[in-house]
């Protein structure tokens, strides 16, 4: 039996992990500046949480969740996103009582049973932020600004921020009536997949990838025609705040999201550096979700970004990845006495903050020197039995070839001076 990774999953190998660590560092630094604190919710939850939170009628819930039954017969699901989990934790842990506004962020894997392709996996990673407790539309702009700030600090310049207001359920219901009046006579011209959306969520026809549907939707009544004064006013405030924060954006009245919980502001950041899956991040306001999941009515807004896609965009921008941090030194020891001394020496050096490796494969001196070079160690320390009595070591600078015989204190001086 030859084991293989599951379709749509990837190993992040030693060569790639420095890029991930770099991206995570940028995320944590930007979140610190905006005063968001890290949370780490569990990777699985009750299935019902996602079904209620994200919406039974969405593709995500109806087709894409990894759901299983535990030994107690409960239906559990690997999280397809983190907003529902954060809101569950917010309610369960009464975070709203501890602070009037909860600002949190997360970094971690998500799971969706989608058809894998470039930029679309079954296990992928997101970083995201949620601000729970404020109805002020200016915080919507803050959320968008965070996602843009992270992209900029990753060196990504080619992207577009598209925003829209998806209004309220009442406004969407009024719009739906008009939209259906327009669509139903044209239903025969839609593909089978899109025809199914007519009953489930006709708004999603606006982001269809099918050419025929796109043409039909060009003249479809837009949701924006149905906005009331409050929705219009909030949307204006978001746009003015984005201008103040220096975030360029376009209004896309056809932007709809794949999750049901959104109200008012919805946004996406897209990049031409990516292929068909061009959304780097997305989010928006979800004022009804906390109450929907059993909490007191509490306004909230947030976003999440795909980390694989962010890394793809960084690579397309010319980011080559970072060098794995170099090894400080490799200790070369051959016989038993030397190997014992090597272990003690490695311990002392590591305690002093130096990165040290040594041979565990019984290799010859020559082979160990080759290994030190392969690992691009800065120094090799050769331990010789003859020097043990006087506690001397031979240190070789592998870049210059310079070599010296020194006691421990001397070694430290040489290592820290380079």
Binding site for ligand HAM (CB under 6 A): 81, 83, 112, 114, 119-121, 124, 126, 128, 130, 258-259, 279-284, 286, 302-306, 308-309
Collapse the DSSP code of 6 into the 3-class scheme (helix H, G, I; strand E, B; otherwise coil) and give the result: coil
The count of C-alpha atoms lying within 13 angstroms of the C-alpha of 94, restricted to the half-sphere facing its C-beta, is 2
Q: What is the 3-state secondary structure (H, E, C) of 329-393?
A: EEEECCCHHHHHHHHHHHHHHHHCCCCEEECCCCCCHHHHHHHHHHCCCCEEEECCHHHCCCCCE
DSSP 204-220: GGGG---HHHHHHHTTS
- We find the least distance from the C-beta atom of residue 401 to ligand HAM, in angstroms, to be 48
* Residue with the shortest CB distance to ligand HAM: 306
State the chain's maximal CA–CA distance in angstroms: 96
- We find the least distance from the C-beta atom of residue 191 to ligand HAM, in angstroms, to be 22
Return the number of the residue (49 or 304) whose C-beta is nearest ligand HAM.
304
* Residues 25-31: contacts with CB under 8 Å, at least 24 apart: 26/150, 26/153, 26/154, 27/105, 27/107, 27/127, 27/150, 28/107, 29/153, 30/146, 30/149, 30/150, 30/153, 31/105, 31/129, 31/146
Return the number of the residue (312 or 342) whose C-beta is nearest ligand HAM.
312
DSSP 185: G
Return the number of the residue (55 or 202) whose C-beta is nearest ligand HAM.
55
- We find the least distance from the C-beta atom of residue 314 to ligand HAM, in angstroms, to be 13
8 Å CB contact between 298 and 132: yes
- We find the least distance from the C-beta atom of residue 173 to ligand HAM, in angstroms, to be 22
The alpha carbon dihedral of 208, 209, 213, 217 has a sign of: positive
- We find the least distance from the C-beta atom of residue 261 to ligand HAM, in angstroms, to be 8
Contacts of residue 411, Cβ cutoff 8 Å, sequence gap at least 6 = 349, 381, 393, 395
Closest CA to 404 of 413, 393, 415, 412: 393
Residue that the structure tokens 């971690």 belong to: 108
Return the number of the residue (267 or 379) whose C-beta is nearest ligand HAM.
267
Other CB atoms within a 10 A radius of the CB of residue 206 amount to 20
Return the number of the residue (303 or 384) whose C-beta is nearest ligand HAM.
303
- We find the least distance from the C-beta atom of residue 223 to ligand HAM, in angstroms, to be 18
Return the number of the residue (283 or 295) whose C-beta is nearest ligand HAM.
283
- We find the least distance from the C-beta atom of residue 192 to ligand HAM, in angstroms, to be 23
Return the number of the residue (290 or 383) whose C-beta is nearest ligand HAM.
290
- We find the least distance from the C-beta atom of residue 201 to ligand HAM, in angstroms, to be 15
Return the number of the residue (55 or 306) whose C-beta is nearest ligand HAM.
306
- We find the least distance from the C-beta atom of residue 94 to ligand HAM, in angstroms, to be 20
Return the number of the residue (303 or 393) whose C-beta is nearest ligand HAM.
303
Return the number of the residue (137 or 283) whose C-beta is nearest ligand HAM.
283
The pair of structure tokens assigned to 323 is 């060098």
8 Å CB contact between 187 and 202: no
- We find the least distance from the C-beta atom of residue 126 to ligand HAM, in angstroms, to be 5
- Residue 265 dihedral angles phi and psi, to the nearest 5°: -60, 130
């Amino acid at each position: 039996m030859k084991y293989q990774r599951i379709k749509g999953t990837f190993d992040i190998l030693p060569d790639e992990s420095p890029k991930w660590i770099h991206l995570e560092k940028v995320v944590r630094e930007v979140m610190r500046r905006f005063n968001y604190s890290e949370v780490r919710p569990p990777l699985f939850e009750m299935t019902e949480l996602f079904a209620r939170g994200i919406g039974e009628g969405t593709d995500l819930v109806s087709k894409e969740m990894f759901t299983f039954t535990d030994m107690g017969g409960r239906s559990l699901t690997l999280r397809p996103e983190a907003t529902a989990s954060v809101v569950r934790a917010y309610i369960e842990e009464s975070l709203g009582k501890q602070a009037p506004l909860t600002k949190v962020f997360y970094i971690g894997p998500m799971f969706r049973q989608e058809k894998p392709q470039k930029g679309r996996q079954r296990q992928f990673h997101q970083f995201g932020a949620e601000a729970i407790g404020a109805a002020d539309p200016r915080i919507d702009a803050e959320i968008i600004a965070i996602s843009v700030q992270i992209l900029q600090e990753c060196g990504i310049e080619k992207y577009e921020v598209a925003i829209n207001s998806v209004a309220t359920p009442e406004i969407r219901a009024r719009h739906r009536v008009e939209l259906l009046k327009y669509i139903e006579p044209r239903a025969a011209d839609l593909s089978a997949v899109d025809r199914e959306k007519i009953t489930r969520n006709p708004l999603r026809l606006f982001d269809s990838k099918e050419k025929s549907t796109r043409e039909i939707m060009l003249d479809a009544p837009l949701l924006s025609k149905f906005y009331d004064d409050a929705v219009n006013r909030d949307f204006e405030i978001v746009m003015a705040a984005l201008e103040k924060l220096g975030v360029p954006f376009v209004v896309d009245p056809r932007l709809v999201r794949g999750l049901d919980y959104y109200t008012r502001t919805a946004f996406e950041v897209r990049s031409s550096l990516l292929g068909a899956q061009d959304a780097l991040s997305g989010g928006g306001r979800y004022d009804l979700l906390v109450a929907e999941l059993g909490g007191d009515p509490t306004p909230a807004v947030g976003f999440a970004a795909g980390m694989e896609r962010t890394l793809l965009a960084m690579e397309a921008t010319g980011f080559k990845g970072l060098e794995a941090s170099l090894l400080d030194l490799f200790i070369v020891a051959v016989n038993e006495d030397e190997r014992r001394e090597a272990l003690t020496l490695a311990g002392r050096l590591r305690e002093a903050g130096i990165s040290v490796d040594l041979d565990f494969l019984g290799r010859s001196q020559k082979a160990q020197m080759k290994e030190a070079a392969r690992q691009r160690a800065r120094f090799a320390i050769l331990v010789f039995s003859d020097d043990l009595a006087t506690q001397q070591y031979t240190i070789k600078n592998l870049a210059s070839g310079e070599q010296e015989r020194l006691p421990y204190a001397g070694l430290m001086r040489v290592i820290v001076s380079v």
